[in-house]
Structure formats: structure tokens, C-alpha cells
Amino acid sequence: MIKVLRAGGDADGTTVGLRMVAMAGIDPASDGLARARRLGVATTAEGVDGLVAMPEFADIDLVFDATSAGAHRHNDAVLRRHGRTVVDLTPATLSLGYAGVYSSFLRHAERASARYGVDVRSILVELGRRRMVGGQEDMIVDVALDLAGQEDS
């Protein structure tokens, strides 16, 4: 939000081709929503469903989603039904690039994370450290078990 607001130099804030239209959250008392309101950005604490209901939604073409992997699936489905482009900035997705692993690993790592109680980001980073490549998705469970074992010791 801040970078988009700072980059905007024209009267309508579109110098870089982006204009901050609204911010959605789920906690009415969050610092982010409070700051957005102070800066004159329309806000909702009703998540993506509240965003879709806002009059400002008509002006939105692109949404940056920095929620969680689980929330992103819902948000992405809702926003795409409305023809909006969604940029996934969830921590697990960003970890793919940091770890240098294939995007096909994400869903497998999320399932292993839920099953074995290991943070999905830790799994992805360890897969990158082990230099796993596409086609080795079966190794994700092994990595999760190894990490779970390390946490138990």
C-alpha cells in the first residue's frame, strides 16, 4: 500500500500504472487498516467478501493478496469470478522463490505441513537446500518427517 501510494505522482496516483483503491482485512482493529484509513484509502474488515461489496470494487483490476495459503484459495476463487487479476503474495508462495523450488511442490508441501505439523516454509526451504527438482514430489513427505523428527528431539 505504502509503495503504491508513494509511487503515485499524478493527481489520480497512476504514475506507475497503479492506484491504491482499497484495502481489505479481517481484523477491524488491525494497524494496517487503521493506517490505510488515515491515509484516505477505503477499507473493509470483512475480507474479500467485504471488498467485493464496496463501491470502490468497480475500480479494482489487480489485487495483491498477502493472506495465508488457505485464505488465498478462497480469495482467488472469489476475485477471479469477478474477473480480477490476483497476485499471490502469501508467505508460502514467496518461500518458493526464496528456496528455489518448483511451484508444483507447494500443494504437496501444504498437505505435508498439515499432516505432520511442520511449517510449510520450512519444508520448502529444506527442499531447496536438498536441491530437489520437479518429479521428486514424493520426497516432500520424507522432508516433512525429517523436520518433524528434528522438532521432537
Q: What is the pLDDT of residues 100-145, one digit of tens each?
A: 888 888 889 988 998 999 988 899 899 999 988 877 778 899 999 9
**Strand-pair partners of 23:** 43
pTM exceeds cut of 0.75: no
How far is 133 from 131, CA to CA, in rounded Å? 6
Q: What is the pLDDT of residue 16?
A: 60
- A 10 A CB-CB count for 69 gives 17
- Residue ranges in 28-138 assigned as alpha helix (H): 31-38, 47-53, 69-81, 91-99, 105-116, 120-129
Question: pLDDT (tens digit, 9 = 90+) per residue, 31-61?
Answer: 999 999 999 999 999 999 999 999 999 999 9
